Chain A
């Protein structure tokens, strides 16, 4: 239905209502389309008046829809009126109404009322993170930065995840302000980004940069840069943090992988206790490896090639400088077939250690175990993102550690083609090897420098991709 452009008289509404196919839904549908078309508020009022006069009452959901229209158009005094009416009519309000009220009032002169409403909502339920966001923004916009931080901490304590907008607002509104405490709070936000491996987007990064540069007497200077593969910052010549885990973190991760990923609820789901034990002794006897290869994954790199040929190429490519290789596979690779030639398999087994799991077992779990058991220098090769294994880990801290370790230790391999000769159409098969990162891609500081990776666009990058662009901030003494 198309909402009318001007307020209507009661009879006119009646006529419209009778023309509608299900009259009992008429008001609801009409209000929905008013919100959608952003109709003038007077039209909505005239419908409300009509409803009030014919029923003597207006249902809660209609009031909420009217509220949504008012919020959409920033009609602060009208929002206050609706709130008064709701308060008279209903014992409690539900979260939808609170969200709208808080959102609408926080942008107006009545922003203090939004804070009061938040307090009121807290008594009956946990407010949504957008409600917090509105209040925090309103408070910091009106220089009540302490109140804003209070709300922010409260929100974190309730396990709500702040939006990037809120975090950015803190930097925007603290620009040019003095105070050691404030500075500490903002540094804490940066550390929050670090803890949770969040990367700010470009405009957020600009806010951070401007804030740093605006600190009175701070002498901070920010530059945009790309960090080299070695982890060297071209601006301040600092070496970025290594991606290695601490010994404690490493051991913790290894134990959790064995407990949650390999054993899980039932060892038989991914392997069997006998097989796992056999694998453990196999690995212990031959430790340490330098590179662990997921044989089946690598064998599918080039679909036109025979699978064992792919694997053979990959092993040859990696078997330089006496690196100790372990290839993980399944037993079916040993049966001579069109894809797995026995001679080639034999030849490969001279260059690398092989372990063949049962056909019903998951080789990825073995891959993780063997790599972690070999020590920090050991890398692994697979194109799998290992998301399902990450998901098996029980807590988010471990998942972050896993991602960090994965970034530093996973070598990705893909097939490329190269014409050897312009005339002949023959192509040479080469490997493009994407090395593991030398440095850790998180927000980091040394006290007088900050390095902050950022995303070019707002949209979330795929979780396995890390940004290549950095903000380097240093303090000139």
Chain B
């Protein structure tokens, strides 16, 4: 049977193989022939003696049969591979080994891969591409399902076929846009400025810059749709910078028509210094209330590796006032860094501007980072905690009682 199998393959190969191998058709071609012959072989095995001892090395024969000659050709022709070809080879082998690598890779991505300095960097980059591909695929599948469902409902609707009367005009997306744009245009003349400091490009990796721009695009969108938008300024913005390139990728031709102010000037040249407040998580000062006359500055920076004090350094250099959000005061912080994404900052600032309520504004802090809002001010909590600890130790009982009485009377008088 085996020899027949080999023979069959040889015949097939001699006729089409030169083309088939080059075109990568062998995958489609051979399994067919093999299963064909193997099924025969299996049948024979079963019929002869079912209790016969299992041939444990049969798999080796299968694996060794065929393919020998053509591979020896390919082995001889790989001598010196170009970087790109080597990277492609690596990718191929990793895929075979079952690692997380993407199915399709563009030339540009392959080039980035060859530029990765280490093996772990390569692994990380490929995993990133793999996940990206996976998400895209899932999204596409969901979209298709949705379309399918819509078509079905439409069919049903057309069957029943009834004309509806609407009392309101159907608002098209474009007319909504017009309304939003009107508001933002108003904010350009009368609105409170909000500055994004675009001078962190050298502190970030390419991916961090891309993330920053994505967050800025989101922020701009939220601002546009809010009731009372900020007048957004991108300060220290250099043309032909990485930021610029990424923005164009996102907005395409809409970039020139955005209702924001983009300038290469520093915010200190645009606004009076005493009005500027630099918002940074590293600031020792905590923001108490939102001031409608101040110009708040947010650093356009994503720092995955938590570079402490980079934006604070900018404020220190220019001698500006700084402030941090009162996260500790209102939230029982759980884990994660205190720096928030730019779109979260935008949400928080917009809410503060509209309502002035910290509780509402800090709803936009991700829930995983905190265990909830603090109902009583933190310092009071700390006092009770200290009292409990002291009672536990059983030390200085008099003192404890005294303090207890003091705080108790305070509460009474307050009422």
Contacts and interface: CB of A to CB of B under 8 A. Distances in A.
B381 to A, nearest CB: 19
Interface stretch (A82-90, A145-153, A318-326, A432-440): A82-90
Interface string B245-280: 000000000000000000000000000000000000
A28 B57 CA distance: 19
Interface string A251-292: 000000000000001111110100000000000000000000
B52 to A, nearest CB: 10
B309 A269 contact: yes
A56 B38 contact: yes
Interface in B5-58: 30-31, 34-35, 38, 41-42, 54-58
Interface in A28-87: 28, 42, 45-46, 48-49, 51-61, 64, 81, 84-85
A304 to B, nearest CB: 10
Contacts of B68: 88
A359 B59 contact: no
Given A53-B42, A56-B31, A85-B64, A268 B313 contact: yes
Interface residues of B, number: 43
Contacts of B309: 269-270
B56 A124 contact: no
B89 A49 contact: no
Contacts of A46: 54, 56
Nearest to A59: B96
Interface in A11-30: 28
Given A56-B35, A85-B64, A88-B64, A97 B97 contact: yes
A96 B119 CA distance: 13
A186 to B, nearest CB: 31
B83 to A, nearest CB: 12
Contacts of B42: 10, 53
B54 A91 contact: no
B62 A89 contact: no
Interface in B383-408: none
B60 A85 contact: yes
A125 B74 CA distance: 19
Interface string A83-108: 01100111111111100000000000
Contact of B71 (A58, A59, A88, A97): A88
Nearest to A65: B98
B95 to A, nearest CB: 9
B71 A61 contact: no
B71 A89 contact: yes
A124 B89 contact: yes
A167 B59 CA distance: 41
A360 interface: yes
B63 interface: yes
Q: Which of A46, A57, A59 has the most CB of B within 10 A?
A: A57
Nearest to A7: B54
Interface in A209-230: none
A9 interface: yes
Contact of A49 (B30, B56, B93, B317): B56
A8 B68 CA distance: 30
B121 interface: no
A360 B284 contact: yes
Contact of B89 (A52, A58, A85, A91): A91
A58 B62 CA distance: 9
A160 to B, nearest CB: 11
B176 to A, nearest CB: 44
Contacts of B64: 84-85, 88
Contacts of A10: 42
A270 B282 CA distance: 12
Interface of B: 30-31, 34-35, 38, 41-42, 54-60, 62-64, 67-68, 71, 74-75, 78, 86, 89-90, 92-94, 96-98, 119, 203, 284, 308-310, 312-314, 316-317
Given A88-B71, A96-B97, A266-B313, 4 more contacts: A9-B54, A49-B59, A84-B64, A92-B78
